[in-house]
Amino acid sequence: MSQTGAPPAPLLTRHSWVGGHEVEGRAGHRTVESPSDGRAFARTSLLDVEQAGDALGVALGAFPAWNGAGVRRRVRALQRLRQALVGEADEIARLVEREQGKPFAEVHAAEILPSLEALKHLAGHAEDLLREDPVEGQMLLLAHKEARLVYEPYGVVLAITPWNYPFGIPLPIVAAALVAGNTVVLKPAPSTTLIGLRIGELARRAGFPEGVVNVIAVDDTVAAALVEDPRVAKIVFTGSVATGKRVMGAAAKNLTPVLLELGGKDPAIVCRDADLERSARGIVWGAFMNAGQTCASVERVYVERPVAEPFLARVVEETRLLRLGGADGRPSDVGPLSLERQRKVVEGHVADARERGARVLTGGEASPGPGFFYPPTVLTEVDHTMAVMREETFGPLLPIMVVDSVDEAIRLANDSDYGLTASGWTQSRETARRLQRELRAGVVTINDAISSFGEPTAPWGGVKQSGVGRTHGRIGLREMVQPKYVSLDRSRGPELWWYPYDEAYGRLLSQANPALHARAPWRRLFNLIRLTTHRRLWRRLGLRRLLLNVDKLF
């Protein structure tokens, strides 16, 4: 035990995982601080540009063997990874609680359990989803060919992931890339690098071959160089719109395909026939879980006027019951913001709203003492002139606007640069279908919010400036492969369309167009009969093949 005045114990240092081994970085160290109290408890060594490039090289070198291993072997590796996660779930949850700030129970609910479900789903369905698809041709003149779609991996996938869900976002992305046959270089967010490095450690324990899973601790300038590296075959980025645009611009240098999951300003519409008790509890959770640091957080509410007053009362009552707390072992519902700069964004949005006439119903002042805490805050009398209704807050703010109709609510909900998720709260099936149809978002849920992120079959992603592409589910897995159309011709002799272009060939094609596409059936039949006089056609198709494909004439 250290004595008073003795120097502090040295911080535990963690290193990147490259080629299945820990590699100490040569570019200095970064201190890891807990958002609950601001204290440093560990540090990471940072790779320099050359070392980070080596990680790409290792991943590229491991790709042929990993792709050649086949889906079944890759599935078995995911199953081992899943079991390793089950065994270390509590330890990982404590690390997330300490490094990122969300409560222990919420880590399990929002990060560990969805990751386990994603691993289970991928292991159970990847072989079917990646199986070759036979393609039946439509064109009569190509009917003799056999064709199929083959799904091939890209190569090295660079995954750049955020700090708000430092385990639950990267692990399903990495798993989908791996089971599809890619190798991965994961670059976690600077403030939650320890959690990202833990994924590399899990992969090592699960027995992934060297170089297949690499996790690197680097600063942002090095990350920018990786985005422009031609060895990267695909980039998956989760983060802010501004950074996403920079990633897309840099990727354009090599035409590297990108998948972008960006921000949100997700609306909730509370209809006059809603179950107000359920609506209030669901929206309070959707707004304040993870201290509001969720791209799918409920960040603005439109409530119909006839139920506005009782709804507001219930929301305030539920919000005041929430307990703030950090990684000290005491029960809590809402943790600190992960970054001090994020708390300043929240303070700025509250100040702007107050200046423009908004009323604070509860909260509204930063919590005193250490850590980056801000109490769950409910605002009313808000409108679209305020930043809190237009810009992503990413914090524990819930602005509620009273509207006169569902029409007005839908119009205002769609009046945004974002389109990630939206929720509707109603007991009417007809209204629910209307909200699902008319709200412009990648995900629309009725009488719940955010929860589809935990469903492994549900694709995740948005429209407008909320992103490009999808993660999760069948569509997310297909994002990790490139479809290749392949065909096989077993026939002999020249094809119908090969040289020479003689006069008879010209007449054949001239008659083929109306035979296949004329609107009038009699005209198609007349030209089809004319086609049968061409020796070149019979030599290629023959009567048997023509009869087998007669459906293509109609």
Q: Which residues are catalytic?
A: 261, 295
Rounded CA-CA distance 161/419 in Å is 20
Q: Which amino acid is at 278?
A: R
Which residues, 6 or more positions from 471, have their beta carbon under 8 angstroms from its beta carbon?
172, 173, 176, 236, 259, 261, 459, 460, 461, 479
Rg (CA), the chain: 29
Nearest CA-CA partner of 56 in 175, 155, 154: 155
* CB of 217 closer than 8 Å to CB of 46: yes
For the CA atoms of 434, 437, 442, 447, what is the dihedral angle to 10 degrees?
20
> How are beta strands 133-135 and 146-153 bridged, if at all?
antiparallel
Instruction: Outline where 394-520 has alpha helix (H).
Output: 406-414, 429-438, 473-478, 503-517
Structure tokens at 70: 């086949």
Structure tokens at 322: 């929430």
* CB of 316 closer than 8 Å to CB of 362: yes
> How many helices (H) and strands (E) are present in the chain, helices listed first?
19, 21
Structure tokens at 430: 């007809």
Rounded CA-CA distance 246/488 in Å is 42
> How are beta strands 397-403 and 298-304 bridged, if at all?
parallel
**Edge-to-edge strands of the sheet including 183-187?**
21-23, 16-18, 213-215, 183-187, 156-160, 234-238, 258-261, 467-468
Instruction: Outline where 100-112 has alpha helix (H).
Output: 104-107
Greatest Cα-to-Cα distance within the chain, rounded to the nearest angstrom: 105
Which residues, 6 or more positions from 103, have their beta carbon under 8 angstroms from its beta carbon?
97, 325, 332, 333, 334, 335
Structure tokens at 367: 């919590």
Nearest CA-CA partner of 64 in 228, 251, 233: 233
Task: Name the burial class of residue 209, with classes exposed (0-12), middle (13-18) and buried (19+) by CB atoms within 10 angstroms of its CB.
Answer: middle
Residue with tokens 């509001």: 292
Q: Which amino acid is at 464?
A: K
CB atoms within 10 A of CB 86: 11
Nearest CA-CA partner of 34 in 26, 22, 42, 25: 42
